[in-house]
Amino acid sequence: MPVERWSAAQVETLAPDAASVKAARGLSSPGSWSASGRLDDVLWGQCRSYQVCVDLAGPAFKCSCPSRKIPCKHALALLLLWAESEVSAADAPEFAREWQATRAAKAAAAAEPRAATTPDPAAAAKRVEQRAERVAGGMIELSRWLDDQVRQGLAGAQRGGPAPFDAMAARLVDAQAPAAAGAVRRLGTIAGIGPHWADRLLGELALLQLLVAGHDRLADLPPELAATVRSRIGFPVGTEEVLAGPRVTDRWQVIGQVDTDDGNLTTRRTWLRGSSSGRFALVLAFAAGGQPLVSDLVAGTEFRGDLTFYPGSVPLRALVASRDSAAEPFASPSGALPLSAALAGWAETVAGEPWRYDAPVLLSQVTPADDGWLVDASGAALPLAAGHREPWWLLAAAGAAPATVAAEWSPSGLRPLAAWTDGLFVPAGAPVLDPAAPRTPELPPDLLAAALVGTNRRPWPGSSTLLETAAVALTRRRAGLAPASSGHVPVPPAPVEITPPLPPATGLRLIRILGEGVPGGAQLAQELLAQWLEAAAAKGGHVPPVVLPALLEAGRRNSIIRSALAQVAGRRGTWLAGMRADWRWLRDESVAAPASAAAFPPAPSSAPPSGPAGGSAPPSRPAGGSAPSGPAGASGPGTAGPASAWETGTVGERLGYLTEFRRADPAGARSLLEQTWAAESSDDRARFVTALGTGLSVDDDAFLEQALDDRRKEVREAALDLLRTLPGSSLAARMTQRARAALRYENRRLVVTPPDDLDTGMRRDGVAATPARGLGVSAWLLEEILAGAPLTTWAAPATMLSLARGTDWEAALLHGWAKAAIAQNDPAWAIALLDEASGALRESVRWDLHLVLPHDELGRLAADALRREDGMAHRLLAIHPGSWPEELSVTVLETIAHRARTDRHTWQLGELCRSAAVSMPPAYAELVGRLAVQLDQEPADQSRVRPVADLARTLTFRHEMFQEFQ
């Protein structure tokens, strides 16, 4: 039976570390594999000279590369290739068939009964007896030490630090009780640290006293409970002994994984659940510090096989004894329970093993509340643990719809492992620092008070010791925990999307980019993300919800991508952004509204009091202009339809609505803005003025003129930017009049009469008051006046530049015209100024002029600079927007080939390849790939070949990325 394809997230759980995932992402495109295919349950592939095999039934891995990591980046890349696209249907090569046969032979040999070995029973019995004696001595010493702690009082532990606990732990190690030693050593991380530290310390001491009592009665305990006590002390149980025990056959569903690292040891906890038996199982994997973990269980998949459990009163830890099928994804785990029923199972676990701090739960139909709790359909609620109290990953994936959640429950709350929503497996997000998480004491105050001062000073009454009483109280409280029945309201569900989802392949590509699993790594990931978002916005649709938290974080850090991001975040993105302050920028970005004219109201027959100074807000809109932020349901902010977007939408929706209204009816849109202008906030007024750039005409002049008198600087500047580009505006007429008064043509030469002072009218029209460094007031005012005057005021650029040459005011004249060319986006003036007066311009103005040039002209300048080996070539390449023209691309490719063979230093080659990676047309991938192969075959330094090979991979990546949008 064919194996169902895994998801990329499930593949990544096999990675030994994050670096392996990033490296594998760079090799997971089809172009990185010369051949690939599938032989039954075995994936095979050839990446460069490496032969790679993956057995999906294990999974097991083989690669001819020298890496010691299991799986290596090549095996992970092959799995990602299979998960995200497909391997070819080519015939399997000999190396794949040989490995498959070898694994089959090993499996057959393992199934044969082994010859029993008979160790010396007398020697074995003596070793067991000796260890038992040493452990007994250690437990007696631990009992005395516990009594000393209580008699002297826990208040002194705050001053002593971890040293006393480490000393006792070392004695237990010598007594061959390693598990008990670890429990004592952990006490040093509790004493004096954090709120309610004394409560937590007393609870742990009480459980150690309970362990001592269990050891004292070990012979009288039931076998299962005795096995638990022995395990908690540190008596080993051999793997062969476990595997020889009874087997539990089921279809085992891997519901989640958690990795912990204490510096010396990395532990992976993998939770499974039998779909028929309903039994939980915990499989542990360990690795020394800095070494990769080896894991063959993929979260979100299931397999049929046998598990054997370690002995104990509540047997949870298990070993995989056999697998009878390959791992396959499953839609949703079976046997999820409401919160009350799940906690009933927890109570049974604590009753059977009071030392257990956490246990798995599978929760049915739960929804996050806005206060860090999960609420089920009955209204019962449980808190999320510290670091998990803001489950953005779950809110994004499920949209606050009920979901199935797997988690570890402990007295500190729920630690989510994964969720299933609409048949999709979603791994839980990583925990975050949460110093403000509340802590609740677990023990009665009288117990704690006596323990703090010590029983020497405050004797404990009763037949039981203080620690025994504390152990009973702690166990009763933990087993008796019940969900809260009220006070926690689920987050209202996200609104329904009105745009289609983007193609699935594009979403997988976005996950790769956000995870920096791209060629070039983090250096190019931001550029590739910007290109992906632009392509997605042009395509139309919304991103997969699971990527929204990472995408909103990327937008928070990089404002350049926000506009395109807002177009594809969808309604769920806007809804999610409203619940977090540092994501609310999304609600202010323009979101496209339907362009149908029927979606907009007709223009009023008679306008209300005109201009920004008049008008009043409609009664249904709150003063201040923008809808309140926060989580919203289907009728709240972020869900407004076309007819109500202006009345109730977010700032971004209103801005998008106004922009589309301007396209359909500029006068009607301006009248609509005039009606609400007085009630809009100053921030919103500045945004709405920019929307008038769509369909801008002289009819908008009066409105924009009054906006020049707004009290907010940003509003005035936005109005000025539009008026400077509006032919026939009143501002243009005033600036033309000032310019003609300051600059005249008489007797075949220019006569300059700069203004003497900056008057109020000039300030209003945008003339800056502070001159540039080194300029006098008169020269600065002349420059500013020319910068604000329409360039149509003057003769042809060549004529004016010729007349200005050699005059006393040449610098001011050139800079004024240059700034005017920049503001008015006039390429003819920009070309003339750069050709004839580039050296006379300030550097900042000169480079701004380059941005006005047509793309082909800028590309020609960059190509010429590269041929001349001019130092400014790289800067010209950096400011060139969009894809490079053919002439520039060919020149760059020739330069790369030359530098890869001749340059003494590789940094220039690397910089050029990085620039080309994001700007060269992706169609050049094949040519660059051929160049990389040629260089690899030549006796060249590998440090020169690597940037070219990375460039080829990046171009291939971009080519595939854009193809996915077709």
Same domain, 910 and 928: yes
Looking at the structure of the chain, the number of domains it has is 8
Mean pLDDT on 892-901: 89
Tens of pLDDT, residue by residue over 377-386, are: 999 999 999 9
Is 480 within the bounds of a domain? no
Going by C-alpha positions, the residue among 354, 345, 363 that lies closest to residue 407 is 363
Separation of alpha carbons 93 and 42, rounded Å: 12
Q: What is the CATH number of the domain that holds 264?
A: 2.40.50
Is 90 within the bounds of a domain? yes
Mean pLDDT of the chain: 87
Q: Dmax over Cα atoms in the chain, in whole Å? A: 124
Structure tokens at 610: 């005109």
Same domain, 380 and 338: yes
Same domain, 704 and 654: yes
Separation of alpha carbons 390 and 376, rounded Å: 17
Please say whether the dihedral angle defined by the alpha carbons of residues 906, 912, 914 and 920, taken in this order, is positive or negative: negative
Same domain, 846 and 864: no
Mean pLDDT on 757-784: 85
Domain final residue, candidates 73, 107, 141: 107
Measured distance between the N- and C-terminal CA atoms of the chain, rounded to whole angstroms: 33
Is 118 within the bounds of a domain? no
Mean pLDDT on 826-831: 93
Same domain, 141 and 188: yes
Same domain, 227 and 249: no
Strand partners of residue 271:
256, 282
Indicate if the pLDDT at residue 292 is higher than 50. yes
Indicate if the pLDDT at residue 224 is higher than 90. yes
Domain final residue, candidates 287, 305, 329: 329
Mean pLDDT on 685-711: 92
Q: State which residues form the domain around 570.
A: 504-588
Q: Torsions phi, psi of 194, nearest 5?
A: 80, 170
Separation of alpha carbons 323 and 306, rounded Å: 7
Cα angle 381, 387, 393 (rounded to 5 degrees) comes to: 75
Indicate if the pLDDT at residue 89 is higher than 80. no
Percent pLDDT > 90 in the chain is 54
Same domain, 603 and 717: yes
Q: Which residues contact 905 (CB under 8 A, 6 or more apart)?
A: none
pLDDT band at 966 (very low <50, low <70, confident <90, very high): confident
DSSP state of 922: G
Residue 875: per-residue pLDDT: 87
Is 438 within the bounds of a domain? no
ω before 544 within 30° of 0 (cis)? no
Tens of pLDDT, residue by residue over 124-142, are: 788 888 889 999 999 999 9
Residue 637: per-residue pLDDT: 39
Is 455 within the bounds of a domain? no
Separation of alpha carbons 779 and 653, rounded Å: 45
Separation of alpha carbons 912 and 871, rounded Å: 12
Tens of pLDDT, residue by residue over 228-241, are: 999 999 999 989 99
Residue 616: per-residue pLDDT: 36
Please say whether the dihedral angle defined by the alpha carbons of residues 85, 89, 95 and 101, taken in this order, is positive or negative: positive
Domain final residue, candidates 569, 588, 607: 588
Residue 613: per-residue pLDDT: 43
Same domain, 712 and 603: yes
Separation of alpha carbons 486 and 947, rounded Å: 60
Q: Which residue has the tokens 């409203």?
A: 578
Going by C-alpha positions, the residue among 602, 612, 774 that lies closest to residue 679 is 612
Contact assessment for residue 419 and residue 407, using Cβ atoms and an 8 Å cutoff: no
Separation of alpha carbons 957 and 954, rounded Å: 5
Same domain, 745 and 671: no
Indicate if the pLDDT at residue 653 is higher than 90. no
Same domain, 840 and 760: yes
The residue with greater pLDDT, 772 or 443, is 443
Same domain, 401 and 509: no
Same domain, 679 and 755: no
Is 228 within the bounds of a domain? yes
Tens of pLDDT, residue by residue over 90-113, are: 788 999 999 989 888 888 887 676
Residue 289: per-residue pLDDT: 63
Is 127 within the bounds of a domain? no
Runs of H (alpha helix) within 188-305: 197-216, 223-233, 239-243
Separation of alpha carbons 372 and 455, rounded Å: 39
Is 472 within the bounds of a domain? no
